[in-house]
């Protein structure tokens, strides 16, 4: 993320220079997106440090849910950049298109795109490997910058081939619409995380783990609940034991199951089980109802 912040500052300088040299609205749109990207990366760097801060007296579950807030902020910033790009393209349509020093502007834009492509793919890979929605969101944002740059280069290339200047605002508009799409996805994912939206794939995996771990010990289970706070998976469920089993033995078996499930969750798992006798298996307390 530190590398991403440094790259954002450097590439913003390059793109602003390219926009000033050429007067292209497409390149300007690319530079405008980079301004927003720099703000979003700065926020994400701060949020990432906060996410790894351990639990304390005022935050018993830690601070890692800030990752979803950061992803939402990044998505909102992407959307704002897209609206700014659409505004600039519309203004150019009204006032006319004037493009100069095409070769140098295209070279600077291509260099920025290549750097962002490598950086974006690296961030997405690290984010998915570490289970960090914050880093993944930042990587996706960087990759939207690549698409914007490619649209710019395509527009400039078509302008050079055909002499039709309207390729420039058209490319800016298409790039803005794509950026809006990515921004919506990030905001949608952020809201899902903040509201503890269920994950069908994770639920299937947890049910399989519980069936295996409880089944080989001759136990039943129910009332599975889970949520993901950005870095940590929080799992809870009920285990059903024979009424004649000692509390000590039941606790030991439950601990084994908890440890097996926590060990299978990446990068971090917190598992809590509730022990109940078979005679009370079908009783449902009001505070346990979903």
**105-135 CB burial, b ≥16 within 10 A, e <16:** bbebbbebbebbbebbeebbeebeeebbbbb
Sign of the Cα torsion 108, 114, 117, 120 reads negative
pLDDT at 101 over 60: no
Q: What is the pLDDT of residue 166?
A: 77
Top-confidence residue, 177 or 286: 177
pLDDT at 211 over 90: yes
Q: What is the mean pLDDT of residues 72-85?
A: 83
Per-residue pLDDT of 152-195, as tens digits, reads 788 778 877 887 777 777 877 887 888 888 788 889 988 988 88
Q: What is the pLDDT of residue 253?
A: 96
Per-residue pLDDT of 21-53, as tens digits, reads 777 766 776 677 777 778 888 888 888 888 888
Q: What structural domains and CATH numbers belong to the chain? A: 2-194 (1.20.1510.10), 200-288 (3.30.70.1350)
Residue 153 CA to residue 166 CA, distance in Å, equals 14
Q: What is the mean pLDDT of residues 119-125?
A: 92
Q: Which two tokens stand for residue 237?
A: 């469920």
Q: What is the pLDDT of residue 176?
A: 81
Cα–chain-centroid distance for residue 192? 11
Confidence of residue 288 (pLDDT cuts 50, 70, 90): low
Q: What is the pLDDT of residue 76?
A: 87
Q: What is the mean pLDDT of residues 205-211?
A: 95
Per-residue pLDDT of 83-98, as tens digits, reads 877 887 787 777 766 6
């Amino acid at each position: 993320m530190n590398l991403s912040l440094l790259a954002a500052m450097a590439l913003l300088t390059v793109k602003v220079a390219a926009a000033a040299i050429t007067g292209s609205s497409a390149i300007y749109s690319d530079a405008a997106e980079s301004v927003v990207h720099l703000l979003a990366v700065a926020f994400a760097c701060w949020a990432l440090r906060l996410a790894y801060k351990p639990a304390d007296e005022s935050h018993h579950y830690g601070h890692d849910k800030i990752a979803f807030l950061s992803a939402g902020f990044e998505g909102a910033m992407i959307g704002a950049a897209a609206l700014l790009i659409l505004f600039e393209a519309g203004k150019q349509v009204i006032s006319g298109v004037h493009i100069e020093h095409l070769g140098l502007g295209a070279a600077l834009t291509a260099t920025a795109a290549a750097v962002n492509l490598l950086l974006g793919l690296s961030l997405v890979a690290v984010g998915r490997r570490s289970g960090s929605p914050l880093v993944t969101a930042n990587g996706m944002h960087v990759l939207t910058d690549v698409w914007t740059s490619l649209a710019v280069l395509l527009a400039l290339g078509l302008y050079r081939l055909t002499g039709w200047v309207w390729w420039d605002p058209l490319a800016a508009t298409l790039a803005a619409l794509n950026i809006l799409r990515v921004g919506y996805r990030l905001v949608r994912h952020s809201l899902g995380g903040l509201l503890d939206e269920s994950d069908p794939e994770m639920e299937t995996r947890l049910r399989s783990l519980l069936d295996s771990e409880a089944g080989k010990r001759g136990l039943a289970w129910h009332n599975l609940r889970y949520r993901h706070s950005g870095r940590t998976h929080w799992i809870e469920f009920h285990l059903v034991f024979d009424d004649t089993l000692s509390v000590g033995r039941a606790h030991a078996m439950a601990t084994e199951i908890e440890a097996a499930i926590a060990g299978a969750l990446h990068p971090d798992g917190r598992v809590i089980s509730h022990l109940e006798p078979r005679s009370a298996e079908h009783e449902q307390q009001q505070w346990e109802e979903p």
